[in-house]
A and B are shown apart, each in its own frame.
Chain A
Amino acid sequence: MSGMSDIQETRLHEVAHARAGDKGNRSNISLIPYKPETYALLLEQVTEVRVLELFAHKGATKVTRYELPNLPALNFVIDDALEGGVNAALNLDQHGKTLSYLLLGLSVSMPRALILHPAPE
């Protein structure tokens, strides 16, 4: 059993991967843990509220989180995240293709064993 000393602050990038897609002004970003044991911790820590905060400066108005326990993976649908999307955005990345890595920058607390490149003990 891991002790509390095993828990490290890290970024989602160390425990999961992601891909962003667009439809109109709505972005969807998958979040797929490298290790299945991570899934339960993602459910706890990567909430709709936190993701909405992360995309607030983009104008996001709503986040819906879908759960896919068999993969396992999460799918976040973020309304109004694309500053108008391909129809209207002035952003260089009109499709929001790079936004998967905005999500992967989110801070999380994870047991050392689940982190791809953990900090030295």
Chain B
Amino acid sequence: MTNKIVHIGCGAGFSGDRVDASIPVVATLAKRQGPRYLIFETLAERTLALAQKHRRKDPSHGYSPFLEAYIRPILKTCHESGIRIVSNFGAANPMGGAAKIAEIARELGCTGLKIAVVEGDDLFQFLSEEEISNYPTIEGLEIGDNEVVAANAYLGARPIADALAQGADVVVVGRCTDPALVLGPLVHELGWPEDDWERLAAGTMAGHLLECGGQVTGAYFADPGYKDVPDLARVGFPIAEVGSDGSLIVTKADDTGGLVSAQTVKEQLLYEIHDPANYFTADVILDISQVKVEEVGPDRVRVSGARGKPRPDTLKATVSIDGGWMGEAEMSYAGPNALKRAQLAVDVLKQRCREIGTNCPVRFDILGTVSVHDGDGGGGGAAGDWPDDGDYRVRVASRGHDKEGIERINQEMLSLYCSGPAAGGGFRQHLTDQVQTASILVDRTLLATRIRMMEVSA
């Protein structure tokens, strides 16, 4: 039996990724033979809660705000070339996302395009808010009495494979595991059974390597003089070639920058992995502890040795709760004795916070010394021996449910223009509403997934 190969490209690795990265991926896939797919991963943990907030303001919203920017440049070529699209664009409103894609498809003349919507990730379909709040959390916060903004289970590859079996050219999912975007097409094309743990593991590993887009092809990797990457500004997004035997080659779009090397693949392989022998997904427990990575050609890396264990009985779900507000404000001090003036600004702000009775967590940084590597209580080197002359920026950050109190702290930074040390400038501030997340485990039999199909008419 010949080894059938499925080609799967990735067009986005997070909500906010480059909107034109998919164009060279599609151009490359269009030249190839055999089953070809394009995935977009646009739904980080809290993105869905933000989408839910949008939907509450306007019921037609709540799908990925970047959907049109991602879909429009490539939809017609994909339709004409037989490249099928799988994405979690749906976020809090998969039907709304599908309707938007149908609208774009009609404009582009993609008559006959079939769009499938996978529903069933929204726990509110199956549980009350009180029932959700009573689940014990496995990571993140306790849910407590906070308002639940969104609660969604991570669906696996099966409903995606089912939608493809029904003839979908585009599959829109809300919350699913990121690797399922890749595993779904593989299960459909290669007919892998539900308990073929070794192959499901191989497909899940392929999905894990692809789901962050350019992070496996030289992006988020470059370190000049240490890890040089050609033409990073035009970094090519990845394409996986997965065989029916579970073999995997990672490569990238033709005529692009970036690189695929053993190093780039290893960094992404371990990204957001805890115990390498036990990576839990909805479809399989993936074990990458024995994986081997080999360069087999220019920008071609073979990855082998994934092992699988039976899938867990539970599905992970993310519960998003209202998280109050975060305030951030900054002011710069530069030139002679700038550090002393910046430190004085911090001292003034600390005293002001005490005197106005601030009772939320507050952090101060002087950017230009150590900031992101410092701790909330120091200790990371910010208080070290930095030059007095320089170009420093004072930052204050605070968070809590008392919006006025947070705004007041930002305002205290602003007041330094006239009431602080000499020559503060470049004030900026942000006040953003926060979503906090907790994870729970739900019995997979609790959920019923449903596939809805729509076809684009002339």
Residue positions of A touching B, CB distance < 8 A = 13, 17-19, 21-26, 28, 30, 32, 34, 56-59, 64, 66, 68, 70-71, 73, 75, 77, 83, 85-88, 90-93, 98-99, 101-102, 116-117
Query: Is B410's CB within 8 Å of the partner chain A?
Result: no
Inter-chain CA distance A104–B295, complex, in Å, is: 25
A28 pairs with B439, CB closer than 8 A = no
Contact: A75 with B270, CB < 8 Å? Answer: yes
**How distant is B47 from chain A, measured CB to nearest CB, in Å?**
11
Decide: A30 and B436 in contact? CB cutoff 8 A: no
- B169 interface residue (CB < 8 Å to A): no
Compute the total of residue contacts between A and B using a CB distance below 8 Å: 123
Interface stretch of the complex, out of B27-35, B366-374, B440-448: B366-374
Among A28, A64, A77, A116, chain B packs the most CB atoms within 10 A around the CB of A28
Interface of A is mostly: mixed
Residues facing A in B7-46 (CB within 8 A) are 45-46
Of the stretches B66-74, B151-159, B241-249, B273-281, the one at the interface is B273-281
Counting from the closest, the 5 A-B pairs by CB-CB distance are A57-B379, A21-B272, A90-B363, A30-B270, A57-B375
Q: State A22–B379 Cα separation when bound (angstroms).
A: 22
Checking B274, B377, B380, B399 against A28 with a beta-carbon cut-off of 8 angstroms, the contacting residue is B274
A102 adjacent to B226 (CB under 8 Å): no
Question: What's the nearest-Cβ distance from chain B to residue A97, in Å?
Answer: 9
Which A residues are in CB contact (< 8 Å) with B326? 90
7 A–B contacts, CB within 8 A, in A order: A17-B263, A17-B267, A19-B221, A22-B272, A26-B139, A57-B377, A75-B276
- The answer on a CB contact under 8 Å between A32 and B266 is yes
Task: Report the bound CA distance from A82 to B398 in whole Å.
Answer: 16
Complex: how many Å from CA A17 to CA B139? 28
Which residue of A34, A68, A85 has the most chain B CB atoms within 10 A of its CB atom? A68
Q: How far is the CA of A10 from the CA of B275 in the complex (A)?
A: 29
